[in-house]
Amino acid sequence: EICECIDDPHRLLNNVLIPGTPLAFPTHESYCDFLNACADTLGIHPRNLLMRGSTKLGFSVSPDPDSIWVAMRPDSDLDFAIIDPDYYHYLDREIRMYERNPANRAFRGPQFKKSVSRRGQRAFYTCRYFDLPDIPCVADHNERLKALPVEACCGLPRPIDAFVFR
């Protein structure tokens, strides 16, 4: 299906990559159960979630030469995007308050690289999970992700990584 649509990017995105059941889920019902659990746990609409990468396709599309085209493994993580303006702005506000406090040393030492990366990603209204600081709202976000019924819905325990977009 992907190969058939490769020359028509709009059809590829809108008819193949976005809708449908991600390959990480054995059934459409288990996928819907996961979306509903996310909605209840994170306080967002279930359709404000989008599965990405090998979670969706069954293989990696990472630009990293060592990862590209690698099939999803039993220990692979679930990658998804949370696309919700309220959720994004809440995280962004808390992170900005953290960064404004000089006592947190967000722009010096080990946090410097993450802070610079966050500033760049703000231009795209994006919070990348690996750039998030260790602050209470992020800890709460991570705890909520860990509480999701991944094993019940996917059949395997998997870690979760979520990007947050406005």
Confidence band, pLDDT 50/70/90 cuts, at residue 2: confident
Instruction: State how far the Cα of 159 lies from the Cα of 143, in Å rounded to an integer.
Output: 12
Instruction: State how far the Cα of 134 lies from the Cα of 60, in Å rounded to an integer.
Output: 28
In the beta sheet, which residues pair with residue 59? 71
Supply the pTM of this predicted model: 0.86
Instruction: State how far the Cα of 94 lies from the Cα of 8, in Å rounded to an integer.
Output: 40
CA angle 60, 58, 62 (to 5 degrees): 10
Instruction: State how far the Cα of 141 lies from the Cα of 128, in Å rounded to an integer.
Output: 13
In Å, the largest CA–CA distance within the chain is 55
Mean pLDDT of all residues in the chain? 91
Only one residue has tokens 């679930």, namely 78
Which pair of structure tokens corresponds to residue 67?
Answer: 């990862």
Residue 1 has pLDDT above 80, yes or no: no
Q: How far is CA 75 from the centre of its chain?
A: 17
Residue 140 has pLDDT above 80, yes or no: yes
pLDDT digits (tens, 9 = 90+) for 6-56: 898 888 888 877 788 898 999 999 999 999 999 999 999 999 999 988 898
